[in-house]
Structure 1
Amino acid sequence: MNRTMIAARLHALGTPMSLDTIPIPKPRPTDVLVKVMACGIVPNMANVINNWPSWFPHQPLPRFPAVFGLDPVGIVEEVGEAVINTRPGDRVYVSPLRSCGSCQACRAGQRSHCRYFTLNGYFSTSRDGQRIFDLYPYGGFSQYMTAPEYAIVDIPNNLSFEQAGRFGYLGTSYGALKNAGAGPGQVALIDGITGTLGVAATMLGLAMGLSQILGTGRDERLLARIKALAPERIQVMKLGHGSTGEWAKSLTGGEGADFAISALGAKAPASTMLDSMKGVRRGGKVVNVGGVAEDLPIDVKWLMDEQIQLIGSNWFTTAQGQEMAEMVRTGTLDLSYLEHRTFPLSRVNEAISGLKDRDGGFSNYVVLPQVVDAA
């Protein structure tokens, strides 16, 4: 007799998710079955889902009814017969990155370069992404889910399920920092430092030994909170109070930052990013993880003359996820700054609809699938 679980499923755009009782899936030989204890929430996910098909028609959502939920964390319940290292009882973060596993990029360990690159529980970057969704149809807004063993990150006991539910954003920032070659003694410029990706990049940059972090944002109160994290190593400026590029160079003896992380977000004007790019030193890097609202008109001769590298960074590897878990285990990375607000599965529609009391990148909103109704 099949066991059942409760999952929040979206049956059509513009409608709320419903709580459905469906069978608990059986893991295939190379898969694991995870009992989902928490799932991080994409801010304003309801608006994103409903508008995604018109915004990005080349990046499809899964076929409905669909189980969303990008950042699942839980306990391994069962493993397939070909799974070697993962065991029942393991505490894990399940990276949503899925790929075909057999192309040149996948064989080289670069799964995000695969043409089938799909974020399980969210969207695919491929028009053929439904093939991946068919293999892994369960996101984190369900009580159980299957995942390939390659997606599993072991998490330590001193990392709570709620904290691990932020690993998607932390990992996106960590992947950007790795692409920038971040390390001890360097100076970073983080545009959008008060947002989810910006705060994550700041905490990770401090843990990675950056000597100085220069950050911009629009909320003065949040900028003050960011600076208070490490007053001797963090300098902040409110956007609109002068040129970001000139400010960054004035604080670095005219040299500029070693790299810039652009985490502004999809509503920011391109001019803001162009300004911050001018705050990077000759031979530096600019890594984008947020996007801007319009095409970026770049002076390619300046890019050539200054030997600036412009890098698009999307998600992170499972190995990088494991590195972050190890940083937490050893105390190198402190996630106590996260302020959790949790929701039972029955309130998932409220949780994804864009909460009004967000405190920038300090707030952490999480759905608890094992808690169906509020107490």
Structure 2
Amino acid sequence: MSATCGFIEFGGHNAEPFPTIPGDNMARKMRAARLHEVGGTFKIDDVDIPQVRPTDVLVEVKAAGVVPNLRNVVTHWPEWFPFLPLPKLPAIYGLDAAGIVSEVGSQVRSGIKVGDRVYVNPGLSCGTCVACRRGDRIHCSDYTFMGYFGFGPGAQELYEDYPYGGFGQFLMAPAANLVKLPESITFEQAARFGYLGTAYSALRKAQFSPGQTVLIDGATGTLGLGAVILALAMGASKVFATGRNKELLQKLHALDSKRIVPIALGTRATSEVVMDGTSGHGVDVLIETLGPNAPVETVVDSFNALRRGGKAVNVSGVSDKIPLDPFPLMCLQKSLIGSNWFTPAEGEDMAAMADAGTLNLAVFEHEVFTLEQVNEAITAVEQRGGGFTNVVIVH
């Protein structure tokens, strides 16, 4: 690891309150890390700073999260998931960006102004499909992650409209995608909002409410840890948390020893532990966050831990097909729901919870890299110590 990066637990990246942008008498250029070929390394290029359109904003990026799956996306994605389009190369990646508003378009009203601290939700929608016209933009047929990958055939057009990710000094985004950040949230913490928001939206889709019980499968991972701290923030009475690393499970248990029940995978059936801990009823909600290589038997075991009428939400990448008996779905009225992202409104909820002190963002240990160290950062995120480590590029 380079001597210029390190771990910090509290505090944020220092930033000028009002960022400067090259004026008309200077070349409007910025540095950006771009991928030029599939499987290649990122290179630092000088590119144009975007011209802001009427309903868009320009954000000076202060921190950008490094997604644990990024190496797979830029190396294996075309062969593994050809139906999920990537941007044409060279491209600026960087899914989770936070920074300061530098310019606002002429039609951006008083809710957003220059100097605001924001997280940029990267979810882009076409605006005209049936889902978008119903106000359900997250289900747009061409929904696309700016700086990452898309979900439909129209993704490339959205990439061309917004070809900027967090691995550049500036990015342009729709004003409607911004989540305003209070001073209590550092830019490094906000760069984790993608994973936090995914977990929060999953809990909301399960209609999780205070006093309920929840099982987080894969709780020590990046997505799983977010689900744990959000369940606690939302008033869970008990959080059953599975994982394979016993040291990380102990660290997780220490966050709230009264409400968190750690379960070491491979020692005893998860469903048995849950049933014993809920007087035989089972949990109200299951959030499935396991990775691609997890055995499918683990998923089925956790699904059996649901109570009658319980809801399971899948946000995992388990690669094998899940063999579920349809009988419990009908007679026990269990549900299995898919979810993969969150709305800016849900991002605002999380910012408010963190500012109020109910959502504990101090659990993250930020491993910080400069833009020039982007390739080192991608290697570091693959060697991270579970979900507690937050690898971030700072500008």
TM-score (ref. length: structure 2): 0.91
- What is the aligned partner in structure 2 of residue 283 from structure 1? 309
Q: 1:86 aligns with which of 81, 106, 112?
A: 112
Task: Work out whether residues 66 and 381 of structure 2, in 8 Å CA contact, stay in contact via their aligned partners in 1.
Answer: no
Tell whether 2:86 aligns with 1:61: yes
- What is the aligned partner in structure 1 of residue 261 from structure 2? 235
Larger CA deviation: 109-118 vs 133-142:
109-118
Q: Secondary structure at the match of 2:317?
A: coil
Task: Work out whether residues 275 and 282 of structure 2, in 8 Å CA contact, stay in contact via their aligned partners in 1.
Answer: yes
Tell whether 2:387 aligns with 1:361: yes
Which structure 1 segments of 5+ residues have no match? 371-375
Distance in 2, matches of 1:253 and 1:49, equals 47
Tell whether 2:252 aligns with 1:226: yes
Report the number of matched residues.
369
Distance in 2, matches of 1:265 and 1:48, equals 14
Distance in 2, matches of 1:136 and 1:176, equals 27
- What is the aligned partner in structure 1 of residue 6 from structure 2? none
Task: Compute the RMSD of aligned alpha carbons.
Answer: 1.1
- What is the aligned partner in structure 2 of residue 257 from structure 1? 283
Distance in 2, matches of 1:183 and 1:109, equals 25
Q: CA deviation at 1:107?
A: 3.2
Q: CA deviation at 1:302?
A: 2.4
Q: Report the identity percentage.
A: 50
Tell whether 2:187 aligns with 1:164: no
Q: Secondary structure at the match of 1:229?
A: coil
Task: Work out whether residues 112 and 314 of structure 1, in 8 Å CA contact, stay in contact via their aligned partners in 2.
Answer: no
Task: Work out whether residues 44 and 352 of structure 1, in 8 Å CA contact, stay in contact via their aligned partners in 2.
Answer: no
Larger CA deviation: 167-176 vs 242-251:
242-251
Q: CA deviation at 1:44?
A: 4.6
Task: Work out whether residues 229 and 359 of structure 2, in 8 Å CA contact, stay in contact via their aligned partners in 1.
Answer: yes
Distance in 1, matches of 2:383 and 2:247, equals 14
Q: Secondary structure at the match of 1:248?
A: helix
Q: Deviations over 1:158-184 (max 9, x none)?
A: 100000000000000101111111111
Q: Deviations over 1:232-268 (max 9, x none)?
A: 1010111111211122111101100001000011111
Task: Work out whether residues 217 and 223 of structure 1, in 8 Å CA contact, stay in contact via their aligned partners in 2.
Answer: yes
Q: 1:32 aligns with which of 19, 33, 57?
A: 57
Which structure 2 segments of 5+ residues have no match? 1-23
Distance in 1, matches of 2:72 and 2:323, equals 28
Q: Secondary structure at the match of 2:188?
A: helix
Task: Work out whether residues 96 and 122 of structure 2, in 8 Å CA contact, stay in contact via their aligned partners in 1.
Answer: yes
Tell whether 2:73 aligns with 1:48: yes
Q: 2:327 aligns with which of 298, 301, 309?
A: 301
Tell whether 2:84 aligns with 1:71: no
Q: CA deviation at 1:93?
A: 0.1
Larger CA deviation: 36-45 vs 350-359:
350-359
Q: Secondary structure at the match of 2:363?
A: coil
Q: In the TM superposition, what are the counterparts of 1:130-209 in structure 2 within 5 Å?
A: 130-209=156-235
Q: CA deviation at 1:41?
A: 0.7
- What is the aligned partner in structure 2 of residue 17 from structure 1? 42
- What is the aligned partner in structure 2 of residue 341 from structure 1? 367
Distance in 1, matches of 2:273 and 2:317, equals 22
- What is the aligned partner in structure 2 of residue 373 from structure 1? none
Task: Work out whether residues 44 and 354 of structure 1, in 8 Å CA contact, stay in contact via their aligned partners in 2.
Answer: no
Q: Report the AA paired with residue 85 of structure 2.
A: P
Q: Report the AA paired with residue 79 of structure 2.
A: S
Distance in 1, matches of 2:353 and 2:176, equals 20
Distance in 2, matches of 1:21 and 1:202, equals 41
Q: Deviations over 1:187-219 (max 9, x none)?
A: 001100100111111111111000000011100
- What is the aligned partner in structure 2 of residue 110 from structure 1? 136
Larger CA deviation: 106-115 vs 204-213:
106-115
Q: CA deviation at 1:359?
A: 1.8
Q: Deviations over 1:132-163 (max 9, x none)?
A: 10100000000000000111000000100000
Q: Report the AA paired with residue 82 of structure 2.
A: P
Q: Report the AA paired with residue 255 of structure 1.
A: H
Q: Secondary structure at the match of 2:118?
A: strand
Q: Any runs of at least 4 consecutive aligned residues in structure 1 with deviations exceeding 6 A, and if so which?
A: none
Distance in 2, matches of 1:253 and 1:94, equals 43
Tell whether 2:299 aligns with 1:268: no
